Amino acid sequence: MWTAIVITALVTAMVIVIAVNFHKPEKAVRFPVEHCHAVRDPPFRLEMDAMLGPDILEGNRVLPLQNGEEIFPAMLAAIASATRTITFETYIYWSGDIGKKFADALKERSLAGVTVHVMLDWAGSEKMDKRLLEELRDGGVEVERYHPLRWYTMARMNNRTHRKMLVVDGRIGFTGGVGIADQWTGHAQDPGHWRDVHFRVEGPVVAQMQACFMDNWIKTTGTVQHSDGYYPVLGPAGDHAMHLFVSSPAAGGNSSMHMMYLLAIAAVVESFDLQASYFIPDSITLNAILGARDRGARIRILVPGRYIDSKLVRMASRRTWGKLLAAGVEIYEYQPTMMHNKVLIMDRHMVSVGSTNFDMRSFNLNDEASLNVYSDDFARTMTDMMEADLRHARRYTLDMWKQRPAWQKLGEVLTRPFESQL
């Protein structure tokens, strides 16, 4: 009898844990967002500013960095220039040459008297050599792991920090999609080196990037860092209007990121270019894209081709392509290697970049950060990048989708219940 009671209790506990981790946030968007304004209309920017929270700040500069050969030297140079503080949060941090270079750079600054805080996601940094972690801590770097697995934290084990945020002296910020692992090195020259883009930022918006890091630092340590070493006075550094949009299930649910995407897509009237390393839209988001297409917008979606780190994502994604292709949406598959970009360009004016994937895991489960830039010039730069990437892509047609093999269709059915977790 006692055995049956124990087994029942364990099964019940497991069911509760699974249910909690699959639970959708209460503040979820369940109905379509209607088209009211175009992306370039003043009321649209007012909505993005007032409705979503973070103020849109003028006077910023942003520099896109292509692939590891540009990204890592820029980040390491910024770290080496630090005189007061470094805050660094990332999902992937694995061992390898680039992991050692970052550890050495962070440790060197710490030993030179710079205060260095590092936040690593527990799951994303599991492949990190423990000796590397000890080296950082021995060098005075304050290292924390986000949501480490404990028996009393099982209910939040599905909530990971997927943010990639580096801030140096409160003045220079970096964000985007890159992780600290060797497959991000190089220039996307072969399947062993991924395609990605990251962004170096200066100006008043860097304070929002710092606040993003502090969000999880406070959650994890209970410590508030608030001197001018973290938040200096920031004057204009450029002519771009930006804000950093942050979301977390721990703060009411990631539906806010979902809503931001839906509001932006609902405002599209001319064009929508999307680079998505993981593209699994829910029905509301899918219909928002189709709505933009109905308004006459040209829509181009670039996704990974055969080189992708999750075959299940590729399988689940294709389930949604039929309606899109039938409506005239253009879908392209990147050919040379894994394409890890996360870029949205709306009406060649608003650009959203950062860590957020175009899937329900990012919308509902992960801690994410997206940098929104309102600038024709920057949108033109990112459109040029999109065009360059399309030259390395194959267009996927409606006929190809209709002729996909039976095993692909079966896989789409089997993965559908788990799409929110992929």
Residue 257 · residue 294 · CB < 8 Å: no
- Alpha helices for 192-341 (secondary structure H): 206-221, 255-266, 283-294, 311-318, 321-326
Q: What is the DSSP letter of 213?
A: H
Q: Which span out of 145-149, 157-161, 214-218 was modeled with the highest average pLDDT?
A: 214-218
pLDDT number for residue 87: 98
Least Cα distance to 211 among 239, 156, 251, 241 occurs for 251
Residues of 136-159 as b/e, b for ≥16 C-beta within 10 angstroms? beebbbbbbbbbeeeeeebebbbb
Q: How confident is the model at residue 16 (pLDDT cuts 50, 70, 90)?
A: very low
- Which tokens go with 302? 């670039």
Least Cα distance to 169 among 199, 209, 111 occurs for 209
Digit-coded pLDDT (tens) for 258-277: 899 999 999 999 999 999 99
Least Cα distance to 391 among 309, 336, 321 occurs for 336
Phi-psi label, residue 129: left if phi above 0, alpha if psi -120 to 50, beta otherwise: beta
pTM: 0.92
Distance CA 346, CA 213 (A): 27
Digit-coded pLDDT (tens) for 350-394: 999 999 998 888 888 899 999 999 999 999 999 999 999 999 999
Q: Tell me how far apart the terminal alpha carbons of the chain are, to the nearest angstrom.
A: 39
pLDDT-wise least confident of 121-125, 172-176, 275-279: 121-125
Cα dist from 173 to 66, 69, 79, 88, 182, whole Å: 16, 18, 11, 10, 22
Q: Which residues neighbour 62 within 8 Å (Cβ) at sequence distance 6 or greater?
A: 199, 200, 201, 238, 240, 242, 371, 373, 378
pLDDT number for residue 49: 87
Q: How confident is the model at residue 157 (pLDDT cuts 50, 70, 90)?
A: low
Count the Cβ atoms, other than its own, within 10 Å of residue 233. Answer: 9
Distance CA 28, CA 15 (A): 23
Cα dist from 79 to 58, 214, 328, 330, 381, whole Å: 25, 18, 46, 40, 26
Q: How confident is the model at residue 10 (pLDDT cuts 50, 70, 90)?
A: very low
Residue 374 · residue 205 · CB < 8 Å: no
Long-range contacts of 13-22 (CB under 8 A, 24+ apart): 17/154, 17/155, 17/157, 20/155, 21/155, 21/156, 21/157, 21/158, 22/158, 22/420, 22/421
Q: What is the DSSP letter of 161?
A: B
pLDDT number for residue 248: 83
Distance CA 316, CA 405 (A): 14
Residue 94 · residue 125 · CB < 8 Å: yes
